[in-house]
Structure 1
Amino acid sequence: MISDEERRRAVAELREASTGAYRHVDALDVIAGSVGVEVGGKFGHEVENETYAALADLIDRPTTHIDVNEHGRACCANCGCDDWCLADRSRYCPNCGAEVVG
């Protein structure tokens, strides 16, 4: 799962690329590198597939719901985080970043 820090880094690199900073580099390589896809030694279709998946992960934040753990505390159903803010109806899990939808 992609973290908010990784998301911000990717956005910063993509914005830098939008300024023309990488004029003499293949666009797919720039985008792949920006979203953390290693290009070296792979076929073009592999790079494309991994890049599309990484872009989807950047855009689509996972969802979760509040569960109750063995100690009776509210916790994230995805990662088990039982941070106090989950009990207070936080919108996102502070550990995995999933959006709380239930």
Structure 2
Amino acid sequence: MRISDDERKRAVAELREASTGAYRHVDSLDVIANSIGVEVDGKFSHEVENETYAALADLIDRPTCHLVEDEDGRTACSECGCTALYLLDATYCPDCGSIIERPW
């Protein structure tokens, strides 16, 4: 599952809010699950737990890409096709958030 930078920022903000004690009367697993986009309604707790662990791993493990040449000869992200002008100097793709791996 690809997580955008906006989704990542939203999840971080909600998790930080939860860390302040804002959700004292709610099960912590439900708070974490909802913060990272896992639906909890109608599921058994072990399903929520499994999905939460997987979503946390996806949130932490940023995907990688490499630079390719598109059909117009521009440098592009191998994952999303982004052709931002500063892509050659970037660490992350500005569109999909992947870490740009370089052979050098």
After TM superposition, the score normalised by the length of structure 2 is: 0.89
| Residue pairs, 1:25-44, within 5 angstroms | 25-44=26-45
Aligned to 2:70: 69
Q: Which runs of 4+ in 1 moved over 6 A?
A: none
- Equivalent position amino acid for 1:42 in 2: K
**Letter aligned with residue 25 of structure 2:** H
Please provide the CA RMSD for this pair.
1.2
In terms of mean alpha carbon deviation, does 7-16 or 31-40 score higher?
Answer: 7-16
Q: Percent identity?
A: 68
Match status 1:82 vs 2:83: yes
**In the TM superposition, what are the counterparts of 1:45-60 in structure 2 within 5 Å?**
45-60=46-61
Q: How many angstroms does 1:63 deviate by?
A: 0.7
Matched residue pairs, number?
101
Q: Indicate whether 1:5 and 2:6 are aligned.
A: yes
CA distance in 2, matches of 1:95, 1:10: 18
**Counterparts of 2:27 and 2:58 in 1: how far apart (Å)?**
22
SS of residue matched to 2:76 = strand
**Greater Cα offset, 7-16 or 59-68:** 7-16
Q: Name the structure 2 match of 1:93.
A: 93
Gaps of at least 5 residues in structure 2 are none
1:60 shift after superposition: 1.2
Q: Secondary structure at the match of 2:89?
A: coil
